[in-house]
Structure formats: structure tokens, C-alpha cells
Amino acid sequence: MSGVIVVLGRQGSGKGTQCALLQRRYGGIVHVSTGDMLRDAAASGSPLGRRAEAIMATGELVPDDVMCDVVAERLGPLLESGITVLLDGFPRTPAQAASLAGMTAADGLLGAVLLDVDVAEVSERMLARGRHDDTAVGIARRLELYEEQTAPLVDWFSERAMLQRIDGTGTPAEVFERLTAAVGGLVPLRLSR
């Protein structure tokens, strides 16, 4: 048995940090970050990577069909081998959410957690971390797309009673404590195994 836990939250809300901590805390969980996958592809210079690099630099989204293929290819083997996936950065649009529902078996979508941090704070955090796509214009565009395309997914999961909202402010350790309480409740048997 395995499944997918979707980690939602604005850019800069701490998804990457928290997923890394969760992966370290629990066995049998793997963090899959689409942003990291695309940056690795860009570094490798593959055709996908070159295409993604140009899009990421502008803050726009990689097309849904490309992303769905990339994610399906990565998730398939993990789920088959019984691993629980923390999915970070996908789904980001309603089309991607529909595609994920198709990729996971009937009971394979375990739930979603939302790391809640307001726009002012994530903007500050991103400017401070200074990743190369974290320019003022890029940040503004990504946050705009989040409100337009990704925020509706919060409702999508909420309507299916699959959403847990976590206060994402405070120190990473404080957020982690809240998150483990939520994720532990989501899949207690699998996590304590």
C-alpha cells in the first residue's frame, strides 16, 4: 500500500524545507518536488530542461501536458514499490489535479496539507533566499499564478474532506511540529510502521 500526500502552499511557504524534514523523520516516504526535478533537468541540459529553464525564468508555468507526463513517470515506480510520496509543486492547476486523481488508485490520494503563509511574508522570504528565479518580477508573477490557478485546488481538496491547513509561520521547527501532528493523523499506520 502506498499513496500520495499533496503539499500545497504559496511559493516561499516552506514546502521544500518541511518535506525534507518529513522525509528524514519517517521511513518509506519520498519527497518529490517538481521544481527540483525541473531544475535538475535544466542543469542536465536535456530538451525538457532547456524548455523548462526558459519558462521558469519568466515565472510562467510549464504546460500541463508536459508536467503531467513528467510526474506520472516519476510517481509510477515509487507507488508500485509501496512508497508514500510527498508531492510538492504538483498539482498546480485544476487540470493537473484531475490528472493526479487519475494517476493514483482509488485510495491512493491520502490527503493534502496547506502551509499557510500570507503574501507579504512569502515575498520577503523569497527575496531573502535569492534563488535565481526569485526576481521581484518573477516572484510577483508566480504569486499571481498561485492565486489564479493553484488556490482553487485548496477548495478542491477541502470539498473532498482531504485538506489540513497548517499555520506556516514561525520557525521551521515550530512548523514541523504542527505538520507532523497533521500528517501523522493522515496516515498513522504507514508512518509508524
Binding site for ligand ADP (CB under 6 A): 11, 34-35, 38, 55-56, 59-62, 67, 89-90, 92, 96, 142
Considering the complex, what minimum distance in angstroms separates the CB of residue 165 from ligand ADP?
18
**Cβ within 8 Å of residue 126, ≥6 positions away:** 11, 12, 134, 139
Comparison of 93 and 164: residue with beta carbon closer to ligand ADP? 93
Comparison of 90 and 176: residue with beta carbon closer to ligand ADP? 90
Considering the complex, what minimum distance in angstroms separates the CB of residue 17 from ligand ADP?
12
- Identify whether 91 is preceded by a cis peptide bond (ω within 30 of 0): yes
Considering the complex, what minimum distance in angstroms separates the CB of residue 59 from ligand ADP?
6
Considering the complex, what minimum distance in angstroms separates the CB of residue 44 from ligand ADP?
15
CB 64 within 8 Å of CB 102: no
Comparison of 71 and 191: residue with beta carbon closer to ligand ADP? 71
For the chain, how many helices (H) and strands (E)? Answer: 10, 5
Comparison of 3 and 9: residue with beta carbon closer to ligand ADP? 9
Handedness of CA 113, 35, 72, 51 (dihedral sign): positive
CB 72 within 8 Å of CB 102: no
Considering the complex, what minimum distance in angstroms separates the CB of residue 192 from ligand ADP?
29
Comparison of 143 and 191: residue with beta carbon closer to ligand ADP? 143
Which residue is at the shortest CB distance from ligand ADP?
35
State how far the alpha carbon of 65 is from the alpha carbons of 6, 95, 101, 121, 173, in Å: 19, 9, 15, 32, 36
The residue whose grid cell reads 518535506 is: 19
